[in-house]
């Protein structure tokens, strides 16, 4: 009786593996949301998403891409003076410049980023990339989590807000 149960269990396992192997594979991009959806699902980018909407950039971040976004957390925005955030919310051109300073054209992974000394942002300015004591910074702001995949790009979480000069 035990050998029959083992035989049935082995057949069931083989059937499960066969279904997994033979089923049409969907790509990771098919299952992932776009940059805005992925950021929203993470739950720590509410201010970034809000400001992207105010600046009229949400559509671009939901578009085809590919884009790389250095995404400041809500905690990073909270460390900015309230007057700075309020001024950005009321000056759409300046807000767009600040937010585009966080975006690169193309899907740039952490490994690719580490091979560069600087990267050009969509606002036309460059960010310096540095690695010191195992800590990666872009524009002087620390990358705290890298390579969050989205269907139209990649997100690297940063612990500060990048302000163009």
Read off the pLDDT band of 127 (50, 70, 90).
Answer: very high
pTM (two decimals): 0.81
Q: Are 158 and 143 in contact (CB under 8 A)?
A: yes
CA distances from 118 to 26, 41, 114, 115, 128 (A): 35, 29, 9, 9, 4
- Look up residue 82 and give its two tokens: 């309230």
Q: What is the pLDDT of residues 27-60, one digit of tens each?
A: 444 468 999 999 999 999 999 999 999 999 999 9
Q: Are 114 and 96 in contact (CB under 8 A)?
A: no
Neighbours of 92 (CB within 10 A): 12
Domains of the chain: 28-158 (2.30.180.10)
The one-character DSSP state at 121 is -
Q: Which residues contact 132 (CB under 8 A, 6 or more apart)?
A: none
The one-character DSSP state at 159 is S
CA distances from 59 to 36, 121, 149 (A): 9, 18, 18
Read off the pLDDT band of 6 (50, 70, 90).
Answer: very low
């Amino acid at each position: 009786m035990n050998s029959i149960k083992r035989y049935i269990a082995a057949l069931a396992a083989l059937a499960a593996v066969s279904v997994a192997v033979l089923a049409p594979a969907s790509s990771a991009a098919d299952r992932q949301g776009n940059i805005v959806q992925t950021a929203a699902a993470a739950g720590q980018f509410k201010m970034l998403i809000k400001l992207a909407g105010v600046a009229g950039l949400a559509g671009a971040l939901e578009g085809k891409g590919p884009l790389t976004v250095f995404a400041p957390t809500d905690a990073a925005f909270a460390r900015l003076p309230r007057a700075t955030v309020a001024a950005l919310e009321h000056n759409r051109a300046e807000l767009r410049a600040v937010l585009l300073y966080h975006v690169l054209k193309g899907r740039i992974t952490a490994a690719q980023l580490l091979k560069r000394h600087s990267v050009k942002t969509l606002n036309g300015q460059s960010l310096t990339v540095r690695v010191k004591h195992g800590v990666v910074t872009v524009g002087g702001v620390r990358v705290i989590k890298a390579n969050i995949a989205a269907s139209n790009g990649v997100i690297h979480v940063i612990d500060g807000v990048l302000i163009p000069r």
